[in-house]
Every structure is written in C-alpha cells, then in structure tokens.
Structure 1
Amino acid sequence: MSTTRNTRRRLRAGAIAAVAAAAALVLAGCGGDAKAGTGPKLALDAALPTTVPAGAKIVVGDPTTQKALELSGQLDKVSSFVQFANLSGGPQTIEAFRAHALDVGSVAEIPSIHATWTGLHVKIVASKFRQDPIKHPIYELGVAPGANVQTLTDLRGKKIAFSPGQAQGALVLKVLKKAGLTKDDVKLIELPSTGDVYTNALAAKQVEVAPIGGVQIKRYLTKYGKDGATTIPHGLRDDAGHLYVQTESLEDAGKAAAIRAYVAAWGVAQDWIDKHPKEWIAGYYVKDQGLSAADGQWLVDNAGRPDISANWSDAITRHQETIDLLAAELGKPVIKAADLYDLRFQSVAADAIKAAGAGR
C-alpha cells in the first residue's frame, strides 16, 4: 500500500474518530432530555399552540443563535424553556436525535434528507437563505497547489474531497453535474468536512479540490497562496440553512409551543446579526470564536444579507432538485421534499421579525 494511501486513510480515520468523540462528549455533557410524551398529544396537522406552558423544555443545538440572543439581550425570552447544547450540523444532530438528547438542530440542506434515509422522522421548522447567493456563496472550491484547476471543466480526473452526508458532498455532486461530468470522471475521496480536514488535505495534496467555506477560504489562501493554492467559484446556490426537529417533539403540545417560540426568537436573532455587524464581530467572531477582527469583518462582508421568507415554495422546489440528484447518484430512494417541511412554521420567523421591527 502506498504512503499516500496510508496517509489518506489516517487522515480519514482520524477525522471520523474526532467527530465521533466530539459528539459523544457533547451528548454526555449536555445533560438534556429531549424525550417527548410528557405533554398533551398534538396532531401534526393541528394548529400550533402559541403559549409555552410552564414546565415545557426543549434542547436546542444552535450555538450561533444562542450567542446572538445573548449579545442582543434577548436570551431571557427563551431561557425558561430552552436548554442549549453545544452542537450543530448533520452528523452531531442526527446522533443526538437518535439518543433522544435533542429537539432542535441547526443544519444546512442535506441532514434532513439523510436523517430520513436512515429512518428518522424529521421536519424543517425554519429556513434561512442569502440575498444574492451567487455573489455571496458559503463555499468556494479550494484548489491544491499545482493542481491546475481554473474552471469547472478542469475537474476531470481530479481527486475531490467528498462527504456524502453533508452539504459539501451534495455541492460536489451539483458541481460535477454543472460541469457535465459524472462521479466516474473524477476520484471522490471520502472525508468528513469537519474542522480543518479539507484544508489540511488540500495542503498535503491528498486531494486536489475540496469545497471550503467561511474564514477557511481566507486562511487557506493566506497560508498556502504563496505555494500556488487557489480557490474558484462554483456558481451555484449553496445558501440553505434550516432548523429541523424530530417529528415526535412536534407531537408533544408543550414542546411544539416551545419550538414555535424558539423559531420566532431565532428569526429576530438573525435580523439582529444583520443589523449589528460591529457588535456581532466583536462579541461572536472575536470574543467567542477567537478570530481576528479582520477575519470577522471578512466573514460579514462575504455573507451578504439574510433572506427569511414567509413562503417556502421556492425552497421546497430547490430541495427536491437536491434530493433527486442525491438519490440518483447515491442509490437512495426519492423522497418528497414537501414532506420534510412543517408548513405550520412557514411564516413564524418572518412574522416575528416584522413584529420586532414594528415595536422598535
């Protein structure tokens, strides 16, 4: 076995172990109990209760919004019924759902699909996108030094980092389709897209292309640009962000009311982040995340403005396109995107933002 293959396997195994260990620590340490059934039964087509009853509790994995609520002075509005867990993203939230340790998770487009494929019953209760998403994408395609990839058609024959259960993996498949390529035209290297795994793999030339996002784009170019590292745009929408829940939590009337109240607070928090960039940079990116003020400003400048709509029709259409592509490429059954959305929540966040604006 070649040294390169050994290194790749060590990188993959180490990353997977790190994800598993982090999830175990979070689940063990959050002390939350997200088991449903303590409140009155609520039908999934019944009107959502608008008052959170005393004693209702939900466990929420959404650390970014938690910090926004703290910085904006809004945390007290949910603290009586929300317990925050320091986790987010597909792998961790699915693991927490299975352990009945989580009611609400913050994810991108893919986890709700994979959760359903693995037998979990989940619903999306909030959706956020970006205005002008092509100009302000979440990811760019990182290119390893010397890989000579300048356009999407140059991906043919390249080693590309691939995480099938995460947003980055779906993006890779979408990019290949846009370029007129198939999986057989490239070499997909399965790696989890956590932490610095992708940028390290690029720097070590274990992969030649990988979707990287956030401040990793800036840091990758700063650190390895002198060696020939580059990024190229993919030109696709990659801006979906959701809150999703287990269906069983929505069947508990107390939890459903708490989830509705949290979605409203979540919407106001996203609006606050958009309208208070200086406070967000200082309080979140610098103080909480340990980034420099320059990195924080770069993230704000490249994020664009949020788009939280009271109508999910377009979002569901795009989600169905993603499902159809993944099902075909991964050999999975086609599911209906509309079944993943709980339309009772469709206008909750947008209405809360309007109400908060009117009250200022």
Structure 2
Amino acid sequence: MKKWITVLAVAALAIGVLSGCGSSSEDKAAAAKAPITVTEGKDEGAVLRIAAQPYPLYTSVYVAHNLGYIDEELSKVGAKATWTEFKSGPLVNEAVAANEADLGFMADLPAIIAKSQGHDISIVSNIAYGEKALAVLVPSSSSVTSVADLKGKKVAYAKGSYAQHLLAQLLEKEGLTLDDVQTVNLNAAEQVTALTTNEVDAIVIWEQYITKLTSAGQARVLADGTGIKRGNMINYFVTSYADKHPLVVLAYLRALNRANELIKSDPDKAAEVTYQNFGISKEEMKKVLKNLTFTTALNDDDIKAITEVKDFSKKVGIIQDDVNMDNFIDKRYIDALSKK
C-alpha cells in the first residue's frame, strides 16, 4: 500500500506541473514545491549515482559511505548507489551535465555556477560549513605578509571553486580584484606541488591541504574565511531525479544524519574510518574535523551565506546569469525528515 501511495503522490505532482495551459508559472512553481508528505515506502530498482570528492570537507558523506550507512538506508527503500570520485566541484558539474550522476556534493560557488548555466539541479541540504577550512597559503619563507602583497603575484586556485570566491572577497577588501593577480588555474594536488616548488607565490586551498602543509612547516596561512566566508558545503540533486525518487533523497539524507551523529559523539572513530580516503594521518584528520561543523540542516545563516556568494559572484562577473535562490534551494526533504 505504501508503495502505491508513493507512486500516486509522485504522479499527482507530475500531473500538477504538466497540466493545462491555463496554469500560471507561479502555480507551477508552487506545485513543484509541494511539501514532501510521503516519507516511507519503496522505490524498487532505483539507482543513485553519486559523484564524490575525496576531501574531508565531506567527511560525513565518507563516514556514511565507508560504514555502509548509505547502502543500508537505500536498501530499505529498494534502491542502491554507485560511487565515482572527482577532483573538484567543476568536474562533478561536468559529470552531472553529461547525465553521468544524479547527486553531487560540493562547495557553494561551483553549485551556483552550475545553476547559473542552466543545469537542472536543486540544493537539498547542507553537508558542513567552516570558515577556517578554506585559506590562502604562502610558503613559510615567503616575504608576503598581507593580501595586499599579492598584487602582481602568481596565485593558484581552481577556477570555479569556492576558493575563487574567497580570494575575490579578500582582494576586494584591499581595493583589488582578481585581475590584479596572476591567476594560475590548478587543481588542489597541483597547487601543493606548485607552492612547494616555488612555482607560485600563493595558493587558495581547502582542507586537507591546509592542515597537511602547515603541520609539515611548508606553508603558513595568510588569510582564511574567518568573518568573511561561512564556507558551506552542500548536496545537490538533479531536480528531475529528486522529483521522481523522493524516497531515495530522504534515505540518503538519513544516512548523512547518522554519520553526523557519529562525528559528534565519536570524532576519533570518524577520523579512523576516513583519514586514508584523504591521504593524511589520523592525527591530522582529527585536527581537520575541528575546523568544520557537519549538519544537513539549512538554517537562515546558511541560506544567507549561500545567497551572498551568488550575489557577489554576479557582481564581480564570476557568473553571468542570475540565480533564483527560492527555486534553487529546496528544503522540502530536510523539512520532511525533521517532522518524523
């Protein structure tokens, strides 16, 4: 019976969106945002293709994956998952655009860029946030002592990543723009090599690399996101997939909530089961976890921060087309779980 209720609910939603020429765009948007009321049942044979990134910013997802929480929760609704790893958010976006993935998790900016380019995606939850988990690093011996000193210098970051947004904000505070530095577009691993071989003057990078490089004495933090950038990591689903498979979305979020509870109650175990995924020691992993708060909740501060990223990115030209955040952020799934 629950299975049929689920099918009917999804069908009714589809009919509401596709029906009659007399429906206004506002009516269609309202129908698309109808509350998720069916939270139990089966979606037999559904497959969730997860596009992952091996960074401790997403520790909760890796805990859920490594400890089998995702498989367990999906199996309860008759579904299963596949798992493919990518080196950055922009590469995840490419996989989603090529219809090779249904779910991507990443930082705020690459998700916003994808949406601004017309991708059929919706943010359904937070993963984590942390102002100190993203930073500008310089070699320990560098003469650079302020962001203003970066003018004319070679600065490496992954274009389209949330590192680009932090750097743009930091430069703006000094009356500078991205055009005032020599941009070198490198992925995270390439940035480490470039910094340690003095090929660039600075890098803008995230954890695990901040802890790894500073602990080894190879770099120091010039500036991080403290007081500037909340640094939200989010989950987005392909909207059409989520509409068709709401029980899969809810099962995935349940798995993450289980992982979040473990991180809070037993951070040592969380570090133990994930540190090898990120190429750092267990002790380094424990340090990294202190710089992040893991939660699926999307509260007012999170939504404000993500919206500010969008507004700033539009202002400085990182994105060309604006994004309707009311349509982009879809809290229906986490709201449904919170009512259980």
Q: 1:95 maps to which residue?
A: 94
Taking structure 1 as reference, are residues 315 and 291 closer, same or farther at Cα in structure 2, changes over 3 Å only? closer
| 2:315 aligned residue (314, 318, 328) | 328
> What are the superposed Cα offsets for residues 152-193 of structure 1, whole Å, 9 maximum, x if unpaired?
23223322123331111111112112333222332222x133
Q: Distance in 2 between matches of 1:76 and 1:61?
A: 19
Other structure's SS at 1:170 match: helix
- Partner of 1:258 in structure 2? 248
1:155-166 equivalences in 2 (<5 Å): 155-166=150-161
Residue 286 of structure 2 is matched in structure 1 by 297
- Over the residues paired in the alignment, what is the CA RMSD in angstroms? 2.7
Name the count of aligned residue pairs.
300
Instruction: Compute the TM-score of the two structures, normalised by the length of structure 2.
Output: 0.77
| Partner residue in 1 for 2:166 | 171
Q: Deviations over 1:65-119 (max 9, x none)?
A: 4542356563422244131312254223212212222111111101221112332
Q: 1:327 to 1:268 in 2, by over 3 A?
A: same
In the alignment, residue 229 of structure 2 is paired with which amino acid? Answer: R
* Partner Cα separation in structure 1 for residue 67 and residue 139 of structure 2: 40
Take 1:211 and 1:274, find their aligned partners in 2: how far apart are those partners? 28
CA-CA distance at 1:273 after TM superposition: 1.9
Amino acid at match of 1:239: G
Kindly indicate whether the alpha-carbon contact (under 8 Å) linking 2:73 and 2:254 is maintained by their aligned counterparts in 1.
Answer: no
CA contact (8 A) 1:125 1:263 kept: no
Answer whether contact 1:126 1:346 (CA < 8 A) is retained.
yes
1:117 aligns to what? 116
CA distance in 1, matches of 2:84, 2:46: 20
Distance 2:211 2:191 in 1: 14
Aligned residue among 314, 325, 328 for 2:301: 314
- Aligned partners of 1:110 and 1:327: how far apart in 2? 11
Alpha-carbon distance change, 290 to 333 in structure 1, aligned in 2, over 3 angstroms: closer
The 8 Å contact of residues 263 and 270 in structure 2, kept in 1 or not, is answered as yes
1:83 maps to 81
Structure 1 position 217, deviation (Å): 2.0
Task: Provide, for residues 323-350 of structure 1, a one-character-per-residue CA deviation record: whole Å limited to 9, x for no partner.
Answer: 122123226122232321013124356x
Amino acid at match of 2:312: L
Shift of 1:218: 3.1
Q: Where does residue 23 of structure 1 map in the other structure?
A: none
Question: Counterparts of 1:321 and 1:128 in 2: how far apart (Å)?
Answer: 18
Cα distance in 1 for residues equivalent to 2:68 and 2:197: 44
1:40-82 C-alpha deviation (Å, 9 max, x unpaired): 4645223323233323332223475454235656342224413
1:266: Cα distance to partner? 1.6
> Aligned runs of 1:272-291 on 2, under 5 Å?
272-286=262-276, 288-291=277-280
- Please list, as runs of the form range in 1=range in 2, the aligned pairs for 1:338-357 lying within 5 A after superposition: 338-348=326-336, 351=338
| Structure 2 unaligned spans of 5+ | 1-9, 18-31, 54-58
What is aligned with 2:195?
Answer: 202
Matched with 1:7 is none
Which of 71-80 and 161-170 deviates more?
Answer: 71-80
1:18 is matched with none
Distance of 2:161 and 2:247 partners within structure 1: 29
Select the residue among 179, 184, 188 that pairs with 2:183.
188
8 Å contact kept, 1:59–1:103? yes
CA pair 348-141 structure 1, distance change in 2 beyond 3 A: farther
Question: Structure 1 residues 290, 216: CA separation in 2 closer, same or farther (over 3 Å shift)?
Answer: closer
| Mapped contact 2:229–2:305 kept (Cα < 8 A) | no
Give the Cα separation in 1 of the matches to 2:204 and 2:46: 40
**Structure 1 stretch displaced more, 230-239 or 65-74:** 65-74
Distance in 2, matches of 1:218 and 1:170, equals 21
Q: What residue in structure 2 maps to residue 50 of structure 1? A: 39
Residue identity opposite 1:237 in structure 2: K
Query: In 2, are the aligned partners of 1:112 and 1:123 still within 8 Å (CA)?
Result: no
Contact 2:123–2:237 under 8 Å retained in 1: yes
**1:168–1:291 Cα change, 3 Å:** same
AA partner of residue 173 (structure 2): K
Distance 2:293 2:33 in 1: 33
CA–CA distance in 1 between the matches of 2:127 and 2:191? 25
Paired amino acid for 2:211 = K
Question: Which AA in structure 2 matches 1:60?
Answer: I
Q: Secondary structure at the match of 2:163?
A: helix
**CA distance in 1 between partners of 2:96 and 2:66 (Å):** 28
Aligned pair 1:213/2:206, yes or no? yes
Change (3 A) 1:53 1:126: same
Once the two structures are TM-superposed, the CA of residue 204 in structure 1 deviates from its matched residue by: 2.4
| CA deviations over 1:196-217 (Å, ceiling 9, x no partner) | 2111111222221111222322
Letter in 1 for 2:118: G
- Seen in structure 2, the aligned counterparts of structure 1 residues 283 and 250 have a Cα distance that, compared at 3 Å, is closer
